Amino acid sequence: MDEYLTEGYSEPCGRCAAVDWGVSGEEQFFCKKCHNVIERTRDMVGECSHFSNNNKVSYIAKPKNAAMEFAQEWMVCEGFQFVLKQQADALVSLGVCLQFKTDVMWNFWKRYLQNTRQAFVNNPVSTAGFSAYLNSESEGEPESVPFCEGTSLTGSPSEGRKPASGCSNDRRSGSLDASLYLKGKKSCNLMTMPRTLALCYLALLWVREAITLADLLRLVKERRVPYLNIHDCLPKDMNLFGQDSKIFRVDSIPSYSKVHEEAVDLAKVIKLPAFPTVSQDCLLHPIPLTVRYLLESNLPDGLLVWVHKVIDEASMGADSFLTFDPVKKKPALVCYDIQAAAVIIVTMKLLFKLDDRVEWTSPGKAGSEKKKKVFNVERWYKIMQPAFERARQKMEIEEVRQLWKSHKPFITSQKDKSLVFKKRRIVNHLQHRFQKLTDSIPEQQVSTTTSFSSFQFHWGKEPGSDGPSLHQHRLNCTFKKKGFKRLTNRKYWHTVLNRCPPTCSHHFSDSEPSLPRMYVWLLDLFSFLLGVSQGQVHKEVLNIERCFKKRKRPPVPKSTPPRAATKKTPCPS
């Protein structure tokens, strides 16, 4: 294609004396060998040297400037609107119900714009008004909000909008109000890229879909939900430039806790009422979630009974406990996925003690006359550990090969434009060279071809599975004494259950060396499955144990363990 564009130009390059020209992104000729850019641009292709100076050459159309004419003027919130729309579309295509996008997400976005006074109000803030609003904010007068005439936003970009009189003409950004947006980001609860994910999550929660926050972040990492490659989301006539990069460029995927925090803040900003209740038929309830995680971690189905008992005893199944109500004074959004994993861990601790001794000596060989095999922690560990290591390595490789830069580079300022394009060209050429040598295919198209599975491990007898399935094994952790069934394991240990002050955060790394290795490995496994840190899972386990402590009714003697606790190292506060 480049030969067609540079047709006929065969002057050797000044620097390297080669004749190998290409046309760069900004329509200038560059030498493919040494990247020397010359003055000649594509416009001049029409001018042949044998025309004399007396002839007038007129152009019918100037393709270079045509692109600029259609560039829309747009506000930052419009950009975010596009981003959210793309994210919602992606989620709908993955199986979420359509109401999620049309009713819930759209309403949330409208309410958000309303509450942050960006649209759908009588006096929306536009550029000049916004700066005045900010000034007045700093002076401490929240009421006086001068305004300009603004139109309410619709789904499509508005045409014929007059820029407000106050906005300057030197455009440091592609959008109209990026610099003001950045100033007001913290004070006015404005939208940021991680917040888009928080908004999606709130909407998913409202619709009571089975996609947990951990799943959402995994979808983002696998590029099934647009977050990293923003240029592909936005329409071509929206020109991202300059300060927009500070708003729209992402260099990392936000962590679970960050999105969680943002979701709680956002719910307050949007002034949402209490969410629909999370009851047993909803897939976010601990019971269905634990089923999912038990399947994933190859634990026997018999464990489910015990999980139910734990949930009941800790009174975690109550609707009031689980449902998110932003109206309350201290709204608490439960981390459903981490909680489910923590319940499983507590159950395992209950049944097998997990102190690096008891679980390895549990009877596994007895009962061979029965049909089903007995579940044995050692065997489970031996199956699970290699699969876990393999999955972890695979995830590391995928993380390392992640492409962070989108197809079109972000240009931060006019004078950097050529530099940015040059870097992009260099990167492309180098990658092309090395890919030819190693015959490696770029990995980023994988996500669109393989179907998404919410399970990371696959257990069974099929050829592609990670190992044999232990789901059908039966648990052998009770024995009969005096007509009552009792648990084989008589003791239960836990770390100190006092609540820490909110300032201390890095607790887990201090207490981790003193915890039993099996317990830490289990934390590791579940934190890998969910994509969170081990400390967070451990914190949830402590929460559940606190719930046990708080319960009012006496323990039923039948099949619950005694609450004798062997305390481990105290928390160094």
Partner 1 sequence: MDDIEAELNISAAHFDSAGNETTNEEFIKNPLLIEAPPKSYGNSRETGFHRSSRKCLKIIRDAMLHHNWQTAAEYFTSYIQTLEDTTVQRALLTRDVIWRLGTEILHHLPNASIDDFNAVYEIMKNAGVSNFAKICLEQAYHLLLNGEFDEAKRQLSSARHWRYGKRTDAQSLEMKLINAYCGFLDYIIWSKNISTPSETEDVRSLHEISKYFRQASVTLSEIIKQPGIWDPFVLSYITMLEHNHNIDEALKVLQNYAYNKEFPSNPNAHVYLYQFLKRHNAPPAALISSLRVLHSVVPSHKLMLDFCSLLLKEHPETAIKEALLVCMDLLEYSSWKCDRDAWKCLLKILQRPKNEHNLVKEEWAARRSLWMAFHFRPYIIKMESQKDVRLWRIKERVLKLLGEDLHAEDFRKSPSGRRDRHHNASEDYVNGSES
**Contact between 258 and partner 1 (CB under 8 A)?**
no
Q: CA-CA distance, 481 to 84, in Å (whole number)? A: 60
**Contact between 246 and partner 1 (CB under 8 A)?**
no
**Choices 149-157, 207-215, 247-255, 514-522 (CB under 8 A): range interacting with partner 1:** 247-255
CB of 42 to partner 1, least distance (A): 18
> Measured between alpha carbons, how far is residue 344 from residues 57, 306, 350, 353, 383 in Å?
79, 9, 10, 13, 18
Residue among 79 and 254 whose Cβ is closer to partner 1: 254
Residue among 30 and 181 whose Cβ is closer to partner 1: 30
CB of 443 to partner 1, least distance (A): 8
Residue among 15 and 357 whose Cβ is closer to partner 1: 15
Residues contacting partner 1: total by CB under 8 A: 39
Residue among 394 and 401 whose Cβ is closer to partner 1: 401
Question: Cα–chain-centroid distance for residue 406?
Answer: 17
Q: CA-CA distance, 438 to 247, in Å (whole number)? A: 37
CB of 429 to partner 1, least distance (A): 6
Nearest residue to 420 (alpha-carbon basis) of 218, 249, 170:
249
Q: Dihedral (C-alpha) 543, 548, 553, 558: value to the nearest 10 degrees?
A: 150
**Choices 15-23, 74-82, 271-279, 357-365 (CB under 8 A): range interacting with partner 1:** 15-23
Residue from the set 7, 12, 34, 390 that interacts with partner 1 by CB under 8 A? 34
Residue among 139 and 439 whose Cβ is closer to partner 1: 439
Residue among 8 and 513 whose Cβ is closer to partner 1: 513
Residue from the set 9, 51, 404, 479 that interacts with partner 1 by CB under 8 A? 404
CB of 221 to partner 1, least distance (A): 9
List the x/- string, 415-454, binding to partner 1 by CB under 8 A: ---xxx-xxx-xx-xxx-xxx-xx-x--x-----------
**Contact between 402 and partner 1 (CB under 8 A)?**
yes
Question: Cα–chain-centroid distance for residue 53?
Answer: 61
Residue from the set 27, 33, 97, 166 that interacts with partner 1 by CB under 8 A? 33
**Contact between 408 and partner 1 (CB under 8 A)?**
no
Which tokens go with 429? 């050429």
CB of 417 to partner 1, least distance (A): 10
Nearest residue to 389 (alpha-carbon basis) of 513, 215, 525, 297:
525
CB of 231 to partner 1, least distance (A): 14
- Helix, strand or coil for residue 348? helix
Q: CA-CA distance, 131 to 166, in Å (whole number)? A: 9
Q: Which 8-state DSSP code applies to residue 525?
A: H
**Choices 33-41, 188-196, 381-389, 534-542 (CB under 8 A): range interacting with partner 1:** 33-41
Residues 123-182 that bind partner 1 (CB under 8 A): none
CB of 427 to partner 1, least distance (A): 5
Longest dimension (CA), the chain: 116
Quickly list DSSP for 160-217.
SPPPPTTS-SS-SBSBSSHHHHHHTTTTTT---HHHHHHHHHHHHHHHT-S--HHHHH
**DSSP H or E stretch at residue 8:** none
| H-state helical runs in 271-376 | 286-296, 303-313, 319-322, 336-352
CB of 424 to partner 1, least distance (A): 7
Q: What residue has token string 């967070």? A: 536
Give phi and psi for 154, each to the nearest 5: -115, -175
Q: CA-CA distance, 273 to 290, in Å (whole number)? A: 28
Q: CA-CA distance, 534 to 506, in Å (whole number)? A: 11
SS (H, E, C) 82-128: HHHHHHHHHHHHCCCCCHHHHHHHHHHHHHHHHHCCCCCCCCCCCHH
Residue among 423 and 471 whose Cβ is closer to partner 1: 423
Q: How many residues does the chain have?
A: 573
Residue among 36 and 136 whose Cβ is closer to partner 1: 36
Residues 36-55 that bind partner 1 (CB under 8 A): 36-37
CB of 411 to partner 1, least distance (A): 11
Residue among 169 and 438 whose Cβ is closer to partner 1: 438
Residue among 173 and 376 whose Cβ is closer to partner 1: 173
- Pairing, β 28-31 against β 21-23: antiparallel
**Choices 93-101, 122-130, 400-408, 481-489 (CB under 8 A): range interacting with partner 1:** 400-408
Residue among 257 and 488 whose Cβ is closer to partner 1: 257
Residue from the set 53, 65, 138, 252 that interacts with partner 1 by CB under 8 A? 252
Residue from the set 126, 192, 412, 527 that interacts with partner 1 by CB under 8 A? 412
Residues 210-239 that bind partner 1 (CB under 8 A): none
Give phi and psi for 307, each to the nearest 5: -60, -45
Chain contacts with partner 1 (rule: CB under 8 A): 15-17, 33-37, 251-253, 396, 399-405, 409, 412, 418-420, 422-424, 426-427, 429-431, 433-435, 437-438, 440, 443
